Amino acid sequence: MTRKAPRRTAERILEVTLELFNRFGEPNVSTTLISAELGISPGNLYYHYPAKDELINSLFERYERALNELLQAADGVRNVEDAWFFLHSQFEIVWQYRFLYRDLNDLLSKNRLLETRFQTVLKNKTRAVRAVLAGMSRAGTVDIDAREVEPTANCMVVVLTYWLSFEYVRDPRHALEPENAEMALMRGAQHVLNLLAPYLEAGQRQHLLQITGAYQRD
């Protein structure tokens, strides 16, 4: 039997770093902890990533690529079912890289690259949400005044960006644990879509209530 080639060290470093950042929060994870978790020397870690910011930036680039690929699907959203899948998929990516959102303000204050790149992320998200609203309007599933598109899109992006922070504040000890992921993602998608409820065609509004009813939380 042919033995599988070992994964490259740089790849393993990123995978373990992402797991630790997500579990403990980026400010609480040192490069010493990362190298210990990997079972490699600090020197080996520094050879691949000479500074902690390089680890953060590399993970952010992966997040950004995944998000931008998904956002390209915005033009294909025509109804509530499409929008639900599109938004839930966004939250899945956010969850995969949740340390970015859990520690967003702290990261932006320390990392100039993230500060500028995250502004681009917000612009891309807003552009995608506007495309969703336009597509649903053309399909007749949404009836929204042109003057309301921009503020509605901005509100949807605010929830997309800060939903996990809201979940964390409500239950700091458990909200970001893996076993709570599915419900957190569902609630996030639900609350973003609820912003569209006043503009939905009656049948679409009823469908929204049906597909989100199971994820209500007091």
CB-CB neighbours of 103 under 10 Å: 18
- Locus of tokens 């409500």: 170
Q: What percent of the chain has pLDDT over 90?
A: 68
pLDDT, position 1: 43
Residue 112 has pLDDT above 60, yes or no: yes
pLDDT, position 5: 39
pLDDT, position 215: 56
- On the CB side of 88, how many CA atoms lie within 13 Å of its CA? 15
d(CA 35, CA 55): 12
Residue 216 has pLDDT above 60, yes or no: no
List, for residues 113-172, the tens digit of each pLDDT value: 899 999 999 999 999 999 999 999 999 999 999 999 999 999 999 999 988 888 888 887
List, for residues 76-86, the tens digit of each pLDDT value: 999 999 999 99
3-state secondary structure of 102: helix
Asked if 78 contacts 136 with a C-beta cutoff of 8 angstroms, the reply is yes
18-30 average pLDDT score: 93
Q: What percent of the chain has pLDDT over 70?
A: 94
168-185 average pLDDT score: 80
d(CA 41, CA 51): 15
The sign of the CA dihedral 196, 201, 202, 207 is: negative
> Apex CA 159: angle with CA 156 and CA 165, to 5°?
170
d(CA 66, CA 61): 9
Instruction: Please tell me the least confidently modeled range out of 1-5, 81-85, 134-138, 192-196.
Output: 1-5
d(CA 142, CA 105): 34
> Apex CA 149: angle with CA 146 and CA 154, to 5°?
160
DSSP 73: G
pLDDT, position 209: 87
